[in-house]
Structure 1
Amino acid sequence: MKKLVSKIFRGSCCMLLLLGLFSCEDWQVKRVHSSVYYFDRPARMWEECLPLGNGRLGMMPDGGLDKEQVVLNEISLWSGCKQDTDNPQASYALPTIRRLLFEGRNDEAQQLMYQTFVCKGAGSGLGDGAEVPYGSYQLLGNLDIQYQYNSTDSVSNYRRQLNLEDAVSTTSFKRGSVTFMRESFTSFTQDVGVIHLTADVEKALNFSYTMNRPEHAILRLEGNDLWLEGQLPDGVDTTACRGMKFAACTRVVLPKGGLIVTDSSRITVQNASEAILLVSMATDYFASDYLERISQLLDEAAGKSYMALEREHSSAYQQYFNRVSLDLGSSERDFWPIDKRLAAFAQDKNDPGLQALYFQFGRYLLISSTRLGLLPPNLQGLWCHTIHTPWNGDYHLNINLQMNHWPAEVTNLSELHMPLIEWTKKQVASGERTAKAYYNARGWVTHILGNVWEFTAPGEHPSWGATNTSAAWLCEHLYQHYLYTKDTAYLADVYPTMRGAAQFFVDMLVEDPKSKYLVTAPTTSPENAYRLNGNTVSICAGSTMDNQIIRELFTNTIASAEVLGTDSDFVKILAEKKARLMPTSIGKDGRIMEWLQEYEEVEPHHRHVSHLYGLYPGNEILLDKTPELAEAARKTLEIRGDESTGWSMAWKINFWARLHDGDHAWKLLTDLLRPCVDTGTNMVNGGGTYPNLFCAHPPFQIDGNFGGCAGMAEMLLQSQNDCIEVLPALPAAWPNGSFSGLKARGGAEVSAEWKNGKVEVMRVKALCKGNFRVKLPREKSAPVSLLLNQKAVSLPVVDGMIMIDMQIGDELAVLY
């Protein structure tokens, strides 16, 4: 256990000697409550296992005593294949569908769409597409380790923890007189999984291991290397597996000696004191020479000591993680097991360290589940343990994939936005074919479904599959990355993608005969429905979300063209079309209207709140500029209610933060942290959090983790209103605290410290050259000192704002 304690607190004392601010004990407490969580027993279910990932490879060890299972994942492992899913006859039905919508016969239009406006084939298999061409993200396999002990004594001092600071999980316990330790990580430098086994008594390590998979894989031995190889079904040929190929290879290294015994399906290690299990995995999605790559990575990793492997891994990971800190305070529960801590939080919310931990866990998951040059995190990020992953573990495009990236910019992980951006660009060619087939339009479109096979057609059921603003929503991410980085070369690269998405709506929008507004027809308000003529109807014309997203797309495309000095004629067209979109409107009941008309909702408390897109992640509903809309948004949220699925509660945290209601945002954060497993192993209905901090939709969906993390950042820092504002939605539950390293639009890092709800220090560091507007965080009467690069400056204050020109590296300090 001494080694474990030293790992947790490594380096803390020497840092404090330099800083001279806290005692070493104080610093240890701060680090533990903000970056470590643990269990005092092995996992009883997958949702108690600890997630490890390097953006390509995932591992989840369960910490079992006699038998340990480690679930293995690789980000690109999908069944299915590329296919032509566009219905060439769809556009012929479009005029009739539109006529029926404009005549108020939406239910009849919907029936016609069921026949014509769907994809060819089985689509997503209604969310179970493992055996159809759409495919499913799947686990690669399991590594099963069987341990033998020289003692039958009872186990004591069991601890299984995940350290977010170095991305290493550790299991330690004492059996008899021997202390055993297992350290696991997915290397950010060597790109292999590493499991380090030690015992503090010589030759006390005895174990065997094998790999398995439920289907479509075989096991073979090559020397002392154990290989698991297979090929998934493509969904076309039902008699053979002709889809993606994959493999995993496990090798054991014994630095202090020991005996290796092999048979056809298992490798046994006897009388060792230390063992390093290396796991290399790959598919042929990125390269046909994946088998050679697996062996190469193993050889390179096997040539390094464990200390070098861990040191290099943690250093590379910390280049991302250490950019942001958050301290909200501490309590005695900082040292409780995480499952007991969550259960206690449900009864007593006084655990600020848990909330800071949840924030950093969201950042940890994003760092761990995507990587430059690879794929964006899917519905489960990187981690799944089944063949039939819920909803195929795909890329749902009516909020979920986008929510996965809400923390990317603000929590200082801008590079990790790029896999989504590159994935978006790859959808364009397919999306152009879909736009032509269904809408006879130029440009490109995609609907609710996305996968690794460039599926852009409507889904197999129009009630949810007909949403057609997903490409426009994705383009919001393209532009947000520019706003945070001010990289004009990047903007020039993504501008054609944004332009193509805008071109689609230039062609697709039609005039509503009654209102004379330009509308999308047909469309939906994602997954929601209304009552019409005694029927439940989803299809509509011109949903509020569509109008908000298209208005934003046109605005951003115009701004991009102006920055790049191009496309002036197209800019004029976009401005004309934008002016004819229906504005966000308030209904007779004081709420934001979700559709063109005030239909009766089928589910008043529906999980999607799409008509508030303009509040978040958009920025057309603003407290100071559109107060009437802001108040209508508030009423909309009050009637919609707080209780919902996990990701929906996360979205609502962001809504309330934008409304500057920190207490309500915090209330939803506490709801999101509701335990979803009881004191046994029974799942609890409703959204919340599993024992390993995964978000429960239910089941597990990672978007709630990312949305909750982004929501906390939104409570601490906002920059959507052309100014930098700290603590815009500070709840009473966080009276004292600090953060550092959050990013603001315009290219700045922001830090702040506060006491008794009042900012004492605020710092803005320029990452880009520019003019920054900063809202002073206290009332006008509060005396304030301004320092630029540690030198006093005097700046005029206008409406509580200051403006300052800064060069890269300049830092403005606001001191009270």
Structure 2
Amino acid sequence: MKKTILLILSAVMIVSGGCKQMEAPPGKSWSYFFDKPAKVWEETLPLGNGRIGLMPDGQINKENIVLNEISMWSGSKQDTDNPEAYKSLAQIRKLLFEGKNDEAQSLMYKTFVCKGQGSGQGNGADTPYGSYQLLGNLVIEYQYPNETDTISQYKRALNLNDAVASTSFKRGNVLYAREVFTSFADDLGVIHLSASEKSKLGFTIKMNRPERYRVSTEGNDLIMQGELASGTDTAGPLYGARVRVILPQNGDIVTSDSSLTITDATEATILISMATNYFGHQVPDQLSALIDKAEGKSFDELKDDHIAAYYPKFNRVDLNLGESAASKLPINKRLTEFNKTKQDQDLMALYFQFGRYLLISSTREGLLPPNLQGLWCNTVRTPWNGDYHLNINLQMNLWPAEVTNLSELHLPLIEWTKKQVSSGEQTAKVFYNSRGWVTHILGNLWEFTAPGEHPSWGATNTSAAWLCQHLYHHYLFTMDKKYLAEVYPVLRGASLFFVDMLVEDPRNGYLVTAPTTSPENNFRMSNGSVVAVSAGSTMDNQLIRELFGNTMEAAEILGLDSVFVQELAAKRDKLMPTTIGKDGRIMEWLNEYEEAEVTHRHVSHLYGLHPGNEISVSQTPELAKAARATLEKRGDASTGWSMAWKVNFWARLHDGDRAHKLLSDLLRPCLKSADEPEYSGFGSGTYPNLFCAHPPFQIDGNFGGTAGIAEMLIQSQTGIIELLPALPSVWKNGSFRGLKVRGGAEMDVHWTNNRVDNATLRADVNNTFKIKMPAHAPKLSVKINGESKSLPVSDGILSLTMSKGDIADFIF
């Protein structure tokens, strides 16, 4: 029997419904620093404006700044259609249904792979698949009046609030200062150099990269240009960079064929423009246009405009987990100290905001989503081509977008997904003779949607379903029906593929995906063979159920496709449900195979726990218990991104202390102390500059960790807002501001002694919101727009209907 209670609500409220909401108040100051120059790239400071990136190492005599541009990809569009694939599909399925998975996989190696080289086994820089690459290196060789002067007071810092990196030190009695940023206003790299004494600044600028470049000067500008490999006989992508030095006070510029030398200066501003022709630009014209437009601004104007364009995004959210004396330590030492004591909770808040900083810095509306390394890399052959891995990695990059109030930064992934549809339709037709569209594990800038060259991982065919979750989640957080109508054809097409592709498994009568895998795991057959390919997997079923459900909901909202909705419902009912095995764990495949690697980094069969919503503590407690058992058996230790995923899993299981433990593991320093003469990796964890180590660096761990912290603080995936659902005992007192919930609202929460004190809900749209009452709060006072209200609470759930712009304050 339901209990219904009327609560008298009173609190402080600002602005009435329909009024424009005020900007968020300034948040906490967020930064970290080193007391030495970088010895390795993973100690350099990442800067980016969503298109271009800079990573300065802060060396005193010869500084290297890695240059990046988000579309700096080799390769080209290619024909991946393999006509032999579909010819063998029936035989592959027959073998799978006969339990001859090893023979089916062997046949797939011969027939059911993409035409051509695929990703080049992760080394695709010179193939049509291509690779994300550094644009180049900007080298600054400094000259000092007295090279024997001692160095003191060295500090190298990254300020997240301003997105500015700084280096300062004294050489003798002269204070040298450097500031570097990638302008969000002028779309340029900007470096400002100064000396505290007149005419004591001198330096030479050069540019280079490992291959395919030429450097020249034009007037007082330094230019680097080149053409990347296309992997074919056709011309490859073009790129370029242009550097101009502004001397606002004094000094001279001398040019050579390949360098600029500045002497007797006191202050200098270096402008760096970068471009490729991927977006249709004429590279030389684009380089000149950007730099010419900004040249008339002073450095202070450049910096002020940059901060004004960047800061409002960053400041939408703030998190306070308490102050820490360890914040006075260099970040590498702070990580080491935290690994010993686990006491620095403010470091976790910094890591959370660093993840938001990285997302703002590595993607931008109208451009591309962040790749495996965001937009930062220092090689031509970036690990795994720096591509878009679609069996979790790209998707994890965008997990923080909605909940941490950066919804518009979800759009580059959504637009990239829409661009895959045409190629995916061709792949669906050629490989499966299916309608709709499909993509597999590999993604790049050239609409590669075919199975990969290695069936053990390349056969995964539910990546489009996973991408479509992001399309629908953006709607759930924004409630934008116009947007939903625009993406509905993508959802429909992805569903249509599975309508055609699913086949009945004669052994059990279920509809299954065949062939498929459970990424990137293997199982052991009774004959001892270790294989990956199967008929159906738990993750596939969870993804397809979710895709069908989201498509059906979208169709109903838009008043479309009633017949198609019925077809999806019928197909969905014939999928095998998520099942608990004899050992009490969630089954990973549709049969209880023996895992070849029990502690495998992928935990794909828990997709329904996170990021899906099929498994929950409140609605499916038995499955939640089995999910817990699955995680216990899998173990905590893993790669960086896998540990980040587990933070989210444990948060969804409402186990804050276990989530905190995984987060602590994620923050383990993975390089030895910078004071030691040699670097030797400890494995997964966090690099000194807070990049996540797979290893090597993969940015998905950073984004997954940030999303995990948000999941610990607020959840709304069941349609009910839960406050502090997985609060660790060590986060005794704290607050957050600006986190978003599904349904179109954002919240602030303050807590003391692990209990919510007060909260604020701001509605972005007209909607009814449901909030789970904290167990410790039998009494509640609330005001909506300054007016006390009496609202119903049923079974511990408070419902309130709000209009866009309304603000409700709660005191518990």
State whether TM-score is above 0.5.
yes
- Give, in angstroms, the shift of residue 663 of structure 1: 0.2
Q: Check if 1:220 corresponds to 2:216.
A: yes
Match of 2:754 in 1: 757
- Shift in Å, 1:780: 4.9
After superposition, the C-alpha distances for 1:655-682 in whole angstroms (9 at most, x for unaligned) are 0000000000000000000001101342
Residue in 2 that maps onto 1:795: 791
CA distance in 1, matches of 2:346, 2:35: 19
2:74 match: 79
Contact 1:758/1:778 (CA < 8 Å) preserved in 2? no
For the residues of structure 2 that align with 1:199 and 1:287, how far apart are their CA atoms? Answer: 41
Q: CA deviation at 1:315?
A: 1.0
Q: Which amino acid aligns with 2:208?
A: N
Aligned equivalent of 1:767, options 764, 769, 786: 764
- After TM superposition, list the pairs within 5 Å mapping 1:637-786 onto structure 2: 637-679=631-673, 680=676, 681-781=678-778, 783-786=779-782
Secondary structure of 1:591 counterpart: coil
Structure 1 distance, partners of 2:573, 2:680, is 50
* Residue 786 of structure 1: how far off its partner (Å): 1.2
Residue type of the alignment partner of 2:469: E
Q: Distance in 2 between matches of 1:290 and 1:262?
A: 22
Cα RMSD for the two superposed structures: 1.1
Q: CA separation in 1, counterparts of 2:428 and 2:735? A: 48
Whether 2:154 is the aligned partner of 1:191: answer no
Q: Could you say what secondary structure the match of 2:402 adopts?
A: helix
CA contact (8 A) 1:644 1:686 kept: no
What's the offset of the Cα at 1:790? 2.2
1:547 to 541, 545, 548: 541
2:734–2:750 Cα contact (<8 Å) kept:
yes
Q: Indicate if the aligned counterparts of 2:477 and 2:741 stay in contact, CA closer than 8 A.
A: yes
Please tell me whether residue 380 in structure 1 is matched to residue 403 in structure 2: no
Q: Which moved more, 1:148-157 or 1:577-586?
A: 148-157
Q: Which deviates more from structure 2 when the two are superposed, residues 53-62 or residues 257-266?
A: 257-266
Deviation at 1:266, TM superposition (A): 1.0
Within the candidate set 577, 585, 594, 1:583 is matched to: 577
Query: How many pairs does the alignment contain?
Result: 783
Report whether the alignment pairs 1:603 with 2:600.
Answer: no
Aligned residues of 2:75 and 2:131 also touching (Cα < 8 A): yes
1:303 to 2:296 alignment: yes
Q: Which residue of 2 is the match for residue 571 of structure 1?
A: 565
Aligned to 1:234: 230
The CA distance in 1 between the partners of 2:167 and 2:593, in whole Å, is 56
Partners in 2 of 1:31 and 1:369 — Cα distance? Answer: 22
Return the offset for 1:463. 0.1
**Residue 6 of structure 1: aligned partner:** none
Is it true that 1:405 corresponds to 2:398 in the alignment? yes
Structure-2 separation of matches of 1:178 and 1:287:
46
Question: Deviation of residue 31 (structure 1)?
Answer: 3.5
Give, as a single letter, the amino acid of the residue that structure 2 aligns with 1:582.
Answer: M
Show structure 1 runs of 4+ deviating over 4 A.
none
Give the one of 311, 323, 341 matched to 2:316.
323
User: Unaligned 5+ residue runs, structure 2?
Assistant: 1-24
Contact 1:780–1:800 (Cα < 8 Å) also in 2: no
* Number of the residue aligned with 1:16: none
Equivalence for 2:498: 505
2:750 partner SS: strand
In the alignment, what sits opposite 2:14?
none
**Paired position in structure 2 for 1:11:** none
- Code of the residue aligned with 2:524 in structure 1: it is R
TM-score by length of 1: 0.95
The aligned residue for residue 612 of structure 2 is: 618
Structure 2 counterpart of 1:425: 418
Asked whether 1:165 is paired with 2:161, we answer: yes
Q: Deviations over 1:77-99 (max 9, x none)?
A: 11111001120121111110001
Separation (CA, whole Å) in 2 of partners of 1:687 and 1:46: 16
Q: Write the distance in 2 (CA, Å) between the matches of 1:96 and 1:84.
A: 25
Q: Does 1:134 align with 2:129?
A: yes
User: C-alpha deviations, 1:289-340, integer Å up to 9, x for none?
Assistant: 2211110100111110111100010111112100000000012101110000
Equivalent-residue separation in structure 1 for 2:378 and 2:442 (angstroms): 22
Question: Which residue, out of 525, 532, 537, partners 1:538?
Answer: 532
Partner of 1:69: 64
Which one of 787, 790, 800 corresponds to residue 804 of structure 1?
Answer: 800
Q: Distance in 2 between matches of 1:153 and 1:288?
A: 47
Pick the aligned partner of 1:522 from 515, 522, 529. 515
Structure 1 residue corresponding to 2:468, chosen from 475, 480, 487: 475
- Equivalent residue, structure 1, for 2:106: 111
Aligned partners of 1:417, 1:705: CA distance in 2, in Å?
16
In the superposition, relative to structure 1, how do residues 664 and 302 fare at CA in structure 2: closer, same or farther (>3 Å)? same
Match of 1:180 among 168, 176, 189: 176
Q: Matches of 2:367 and 2:152 in 1, distance apart?
A: 42
Aligned counterparts of 2:166 and 2:441: Cα–Cα separation in 1: 39
Letter in 1 for 2:251: G
**1:494 correspondence with 2:524:** no
Q: CA deviation at 1:684?
A: 2.1
Amino acid at match of 1:462: P
What SS does the aligned partner of 1:72 have? strand
TM-score normalised according to structure 2 size: 0.96
CA distance in 2, matches of 1:776, 1:187: 44
Specify which of 21, 25, 43 is matched with residue 48 of structure 1: 43
Q: 1:97 aligns with which of 92, 95, 114?
A: 92
Residue in 1 aligned with 2:15? Answer: none
Please report how far the alpha carbon of residue 353 of structure 1 lies from its aligned counterpart in structure 2 after TM superposition.
1.1
Tell me the distance in 1 between the aligned counterparts of 2:427 and 2:76: 17
Deviation at 1:687, TM superposition (A): 1.1
Distance in 2, matches of 1:223 and 1:141, equals 21
Contact map agreement 1:325 1:741 (CA 8 A) in 2 = yes
- State the 1:242 CA deviation: 2.3
- Asked if 1:436 is matched to 2:436, the reply is no
> Which residue identity lines up with residue 425 of structure 1 in the other structure?
K
Kindly indicate whether the alpha-carbon contact (under 8 Å) linking 2:669 and 2:682 is maintained by their aligned counterparts in 1: no
Q: Secondary structure at the match of 1:554?
A: helix
Describe the SS at the equivalent of 1:247.
strand
Aligned to 2:13: none
Matched, 1:275 2:271: no
Given that residues 176 and 193 in structure 2 are in contact (C-alpha distance below 8 angstroms), is that contact kept between their aligned partners in structure 1?
Answer: yes
Is 1:58 paired with 2:72? no
Secondary structure in 1 matching 2:798:
strand
